[in-house]
């Protein structure tokens, strides 16, 4: 049985923060420079653990600086204004031993439920499967793929709550909950 906990970084023990960081680094999709501080600056961290306490998945809601958002939106050639998307969904990682079980979907769904009335953005590798199901949560691929600087391209996804409401869209809970 897997259990989730969503905490503010300030409410996390140092060991939990270290485990979170380690799992993100093992996923290999993040710039490790300043990562420890960026984790501590996040809004919420999600920990997905087995009943024995083993950490098998993580994710976060972040409030990145406007300068970072502007750079990402510019590099992706997005037409939407970056200041309308203050929250980033990120650091979604699942231990290799637990991949292929829909856990990324579970992590993303739980984090989105915390910000259901907020516009969100997320970036992922162009070839990654993690965000392919995200349209059920209101995310739309935006702009063009752009170089990450780490040997792969990134894609920007946006979730515009007001546009979804105007179009009468309802978000699907793909876990069946």
- The pLDDT tens digits of the residues spanning 19-42 come to 999 999 998 878 888 999 999 999
Q: What is the 3-state secondary structure (H, E, C) of 86-150?
A: CEEEEEEEECHHHCCCCHHHHHHHHHHHHCCCCCEEEEEECCCCCCCCHHHHCEEEEEEEEECCC
Q: Which structural domains are found in the chain, ordered by start?
A: 2-166 (3.40.630.30)
What residues have CB less than 8 Å from 160, skipping those under 6 apart?
80, 84, 119, 138, 140
For the cut 50, the answer to whether the pLDDT of residue 97 exceeds it is yes
For the cut 60, the answer to whether the pLDDT of residue 17 exceeds it is yes
Helix (H, G, I), strand (E, B) or coil at 174: coil
In the predicted model, what is the mean pLDDT of residues 104-132?
86
Neighbours of 53 (CB within 10 A): 8
Is the distance from CB of 76 to CB of 142 less than 8 angstroms?
yes
Provide, rounded to the nearest whole percent, the portion of the chain with pLDDT above 90.
71
For the cut 70, the answer to whether the pLDDT of residue 15 exceeds it is yes
The tokens of 79 are what?
């037409």
**CA–CA separation, 31 vs 33, rounded Å?**
6
């Amino acid at each position: 049985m897997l259990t989730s906990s969503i905490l503010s970084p300030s409410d996390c023990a140092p060991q939990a923060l270290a485990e979170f960081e380690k799992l993100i680094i093992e996923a290999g999709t993040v710039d490790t420079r300043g990562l420890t501080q960026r984790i501590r600056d996040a809004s919420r961290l999600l920990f997905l653990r087995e009943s024995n306490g083993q950490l098998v998945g993580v994710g976060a809601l972040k409030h990145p600086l406007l300068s970072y958002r502007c750079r990402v939106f510019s590099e992706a050639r997005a037409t939407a204004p970056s200041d309308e998307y203050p929250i980033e969904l990120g650091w979604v990682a699942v231990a290799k031993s637990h991949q292929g079980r829909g856990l990324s979907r579970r992590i993303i769904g739980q984090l989105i439920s915390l910000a259901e009335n907020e516009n969100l953005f997320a970036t992922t590798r162009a070839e990654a499967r993690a965000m392919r199901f995200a349209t059920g949560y209101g995310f739309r691929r935006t702009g063009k793929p752009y170089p990450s600087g780490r040997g792969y391209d990134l894609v920007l996804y946006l979730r515009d709550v007001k546009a979804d409401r105007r179009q009468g869209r309802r978000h699907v809970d793909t876990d069946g909950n």
